[in-house]
Amino acid sequence: MMTPFQTGIIAEASSDALFITFNVNRSEINTLKNALAAAPALIEELQAQFPAAELHAAIGLSDLIWDELDTTRPQLLATFPHITGKDIEFTPTDVDLVLHIRSSRHDTTYQLASVLFKAFGNSVTLVDEVSCFKYLDNRDLTGFVDGTENPAGEQRKAVALVGDEDPRFEHGSYFNLMRFVHDLEKWEKEDIKTQEDIFGRTKHTNQEYPSAEKSVHAHTKRTSLKDENGNSMEILRHSMPFASLTEKGLMFASYSKTPVIFNLMLESMVKGDENGNTDHLMKYTRATTGQAFFIPSNQWLMSLSNSK
């Protein structure tokens, strides 16, 4: 039975993923609408064909293309923020459309990507395609476990899915995607204690430092935010490493019911706290892309068949 939300949003971590971005040919908007309307059924068909592959997908649209498809829009949809600090800068590289496809089998991930790309036809132009993989026990190529603080169980829906605060776009999600290219040669010159202090957690046993023992520059310090009531501000991360012999890094991917939390995390990393203490992990990696999207509900996608 089809879920109201796209299953790629809240499914558990996968061992294989594709992040594919496109720009849209505006003269082929009706072709795009037909493809998006057909996508939930195409995805469900392949999920049924490969039931053990844990195949999931999420299709997202940016601020740049949204108004070509709908006369109303998600309340907080915007382009990726341009954030500049003393030593770090995150620059928007927004595109129109994203596919986030993942499974436990690379062949199945590829097959769904191929089916959807064929459906889009001449309506899109490929911008980027990054294949990612599970590294060891869900570690980044720095050697540290990624996504440790993710919400679990039903809390994943509570964190990631828009609710009745924006009823027209209920069951959707705000998606942020960044490609980080690591300087692993520089990173691997640091001793393990220095690396652990930069992250704010132990490397091999994945134990987070007590708050009082964290450096103000620690990655976990800069990205662990509290609201005015002292509650943790959460996002759902689906980041995964990518690598070739010449370039290695992380596709940072996060879902949330609001983009505000992610934007605050970026500010904390780049501009720092009230004393300007920034995230020192950024000395060993650089963001080459920054993109923001809204992942609409399956019902919204299917409704496009009636909106010519």
Rounded to whole angstroms, how far apart are CA atoms 53 and 14?
10
Contact assessment for residue 215 and residue 221, using Cβ atoms and an 8 Å cutoff? yes
Secondary structure (DSSP) of 204-219: SS-PBPPGGGS-TT-H
Alpha carbons 179 and 290: distance in angstroms, whole number = 7
CA angle 221, 226, 228 (to 5 degrees): 145
Residues in the chain: 308
- Residue 60: left (phi > 0), alpha (psi -120 to 50), or beta? beta
**Strand 97-103 to 56-61 pairing:** antiparallel
- Rounded CA-CA distance 305/307 in Å is 6
- Nearest CA-CA partner of 182 in 195, 172, 173: 195
Token readout for 115 is: 């089916």
Residue 125 DSSP symbol: E
Q: Mind telling me the catalytic residues?
A: 146
Cα 304 to the center of its chain, rounded Å: 24
